[in-house]
Amino acid sequence: MAPDHVGWWTPALRARVLTALLLAPLVMVGVLLLPTAWVALLMALFVAMGAWEWSALAGFDARAVRAGYVALALACLVLLWLAAATLFDIFILAAAALWWLVLSVRLVSIERIDQPTQIEPVLLLLGLLVLVAPWLALVQLHRLPDNGPGVALGLLMLIWIADSAAYFGGRHFGRVKLSVLLSPGKTRAGVYAGLAAAVVWGGFVAILLGLAAAKTLLLLLICVLTAVMSVVGDLFESLLKRRRGIKDAGSLLPGHGGILDRIDSLTAAAPIFALGYIWLIGGQ
């Protein structure tokens, strides 16, 4: 029987592209046109679904426990929204960014993956930081007085573009694996393609914003670091899945797996970008 695909255009890739084409426009329109409160609510839905999947990665099977964890994550979002304490929000973003930076060093040194034999409550606490921080980053960016919705969408576009460039660059030019242990599908060529795409996108945004040369260089640096951290977020989720012996965190999105499989890059990249961009405009 002849295969139902030819070359690189596989059924899995078709499902991945179709899902992206359906979801991306909805998210883009929502971020650009909805007020910040509604965007926060929209992103809270992703956090809720991500929390449900995260509880399974922590080893919890009971639906009541997993539902309680979702409620706890949403309660954290509500408290942060009601408090509206900018300095505290920045502290949370900084804590998340620092944790991801430390983790990026730790991931390089991993030589084996041991599967846990019991539930991991500590991982639930870590999940709150991992899931709440990107939501907070997007809310902070979206509420900026000067084109906040555009900046929030710019962050999402940066991650999508870098991720797509890494995917196709890796498939066509990848030879050397990035991490056989954590993610055999990722290659160094794919990472380089993603970083190059981040630079191009950052240059485009700098032109739109009319930034001077010095600010442009800083923005490019922020975009590159954001792209690097998006890879770290992806690798960390891969580590958690391999520890539990599963391929995907869920099956909600055809071609992508679960919600965590779609937002894993955002979890690490969003706090870095938000801090960098807020610092950038604060210096103007």
* Per-residue model confidence as pLDDT tens digits over 139-189: 999 999 888 999 999 999 999 999 889 888 888 887 888 887 888 788 899
pTM of the model: 0.89
Contact 50, 263 (CB under 8 A): yes
How confident is the model at residue 20, as a pLDDT? 64
The answer to whether the CB of 139 falls within 8 A of the CB of 36 is yes
Whole-number pLDDT of residue 27: 86
C-alpha triplet 219, 268, 187: angle, nearest 5°: 90
Distance separating alpha carbons of residues 149 and 239, to the nearest angstrom = 33
Classify residue 216 by burial, with Cβ atoms within 10 Å: 0-12, 13-18, 19+: middle
- Please check whether residue 249 is in contact with residue 237, taking contact to mean a CB–CB distance below 8 angstroms: yes
Predicted confidence (pLDDT) per residue in 202-236, tens digit: 999 999 888 899 999 999 999 999 999 999 999 99
**Exposure b/e, 158-183, CB count within 10 A at least 16 = b:** bbbbbbbbbbbbbbeebeebbbeebb
